[in-house]
Structure 1
């Protein structure tokens, strides 16, 4: 009977122990970084191991072998739209990022398996694309493995990975120009097109150096509908680009007075810049 009581007590103790949990910081904490490139959302989910005094590349992370690109689960890349990765098309979806580090060249691998734990189950036949990039040496060592986005333009960015003394970058591009132009043509042709549509269309034509006469036509509709310092600025900058400084100055002067009344420093400077550029 005594043995039965002891056995029951031991079993209860083991159950309690198995259910007990103590939350401590992860050795390689999970991280997510996301960036809109063009109109595509690019998201990376990964884990961030630390050096902790160890040598990584060529030692803990051997050269010439497939690496999970981080720790724990494989690093996952998700794109909301078709994008260009290193000038190659990549369909919308999620992909695993494997890499093969070497001293003078890294192989970047995008694989259909985005949910593997480590590189143990890596299958080359599931690769979607492979390409090589040149590593650069960091001036300041990175203690934690870090992925982020750098070198932005409206349609491009670099996906940078750095750790220890090494950084590699992956070019990402999403050029939505054709889609935007189709939307502009469709939306501005509607009889009930609103001021926001005309404003966006005029500004996009201005930003991309398209037909300024058409941009001005839309800007006229915007100002006729709503005389604000930001609508005057839209028309003023288009007129200035067309070389019509008289019209640009007239709009800039009206817009400046409204911006000063509203206390909007950014637009005050915008209007003042046009007046400066269009000195009579």
Structure 2
């Protein structure tokens, strides 16, 4: 019987002309397979400039900052890696983004609710802070000044010790204000943020306390807000009376006691504080025990 010999495939493939469509197709396929292999071989490591988010409620507004945190790594930043007099992305990678849930005051200027890019222009003795409509840019390469919402200048502070990673934090809190602090190397700049919800709260108090079905929670909040903001103490006491009449707890006695003490009626304040103290001691609430004891001590004085 006659047998056919099978030759290796390598010898059966004819050379492909260098300019033929087939060679281009083979090259493209090989490149595609190489890219797939490269993508599959990636190793995940910590980012050089890791992403971070900080958020703080100021007044009734939520203020959020999304940014990336580059490191010094022995380099000089301001005036060198970050040149003076040039627009900076204020971090690394994507532009640093500021989002506010309500209209707030930034450096005493109104900023509507929304998201904004924070650009800065560092200088040795003065920084320019820029809030721009473009909150999703990569870096400052396509910065457009016509999209600026506001610009203002702040004075940088010198830190006593260097900050390795670029850091944004909320500092100097009050119920309605905070500073947004940018810190890196030995430099710190702060951006004042304010949200004063007083008009909104007063409108809510007027509306809610007028309802026939208003409960002790409404009256408690209204009385306490009047106390905290030094408003009509007679009205605050009237609401506190409604609270205590329906719910005799150590915290409701404390509400009425502190209002009476502020009005100068120490006799009534002591009576409520003593009753509240006994209930707080039974409950083991150390904070309220101290609150009532302070009223008793202050009224003795």
* TM-score class, shorter: over 0.9
- Partners of 2:182 and 2:34 in 1: CA distance: 46
Is residue 135 of structure 2 the alignment partner of residue 127 of structure 1? no
- Partners of 1:184 and 1:192 in 2: CA distance: 14
Q: Report Cα offsets for 1:116-160 as digits up to 9, x if no partner.
A: 000000000000000000000001110000000000111000000
- Aligned partner (choices 100, 109, 112) of residue 91 of structure 1: 112
- Aligned partner (choices 213, 218, 226) of residue 197 of structure 1: 218
Structure 2 residue aligned with 1:213: 234
Structure 1 residue aligned with 2:259: 238
Matched position secondary structure for 2:300 = coil
Structure 1 residue aligned with 2:207: 186
- Aligned partner (choices 98, 104, 107) of residue 77 of structure 1: 98
Is residue 68 of structure 2 the alignment partner of residue 47 of structure 1? yes
| 1:21 to partner: Cα distance | 3.0
| 1:10 to partner: Cα distance | 7.7
| 1:14 to partner: Cα distance | 4.2
- Partners of 1:155 and 1:43 in 2: CA distance: 15
Structure 2 residue aligned with 1:2: 10
Structure 1 residue aligned with 2:135: 114
| 1:2 to partner: Cα distance | 3.4
Is residue 175 of structure 2 the alignment partner of residue 160 of structure 1? no
State the superposition RMSD in angstroms.
1.6
Q: Which has the larger radius of gyration?
A: 2
- Partners of 2:57 and 2:229 in 1: CA distance: 19
- Partners of 2:150 and 2:36 in 1: CA distance: 48
Is residue 124 of structure 2 the alignment partner of residue 103 of structure 1? yes
Structure 2 residue aligned with 1:276: 297
Structure 1 residue aligned with 2:43: 22
Structure 1 residue aligned with 2:6: none
Q: Which runs of 5+ in 2 are unaligned?
A: 1-8, 14-25
Q: Which runs of 5+ in 1 are unaligned?
A: none
Matched position secondary structure for 2:88 = coil
Q: 1:210 to 1:10 in 2, by over 3 A?
A: closer
- Partners of 1:157 and 1:10 in 2: CA distance: 54
Q: 1:214 to 1:106 in 2, by over 3 A?
A: same
| 1:267 to partner: Cα distance | 0.2
- Partners of 1:275 and 1:267 in 2: CA distance: 12
Q: Report Cα offsets for 1:10-51 as digits up to 9, x if no partner.
A: 864542222333210000000000000000000000000000
- Partners of 1:130 and 1:14 in 2: CA distance: 45
Q: 1:61 to 1:10 in 2, by over 3 A?
A: closer
Is residue 185 of structure 2 the alignment partner of residue 177 of structure 1? no
Structure 1 residue aligned with 2:279: 258
Q: Return the TM-score normalized by structure 1.
A: 0.97
- Partners of 2:282 and 2:94 in 1: CA distance: 55
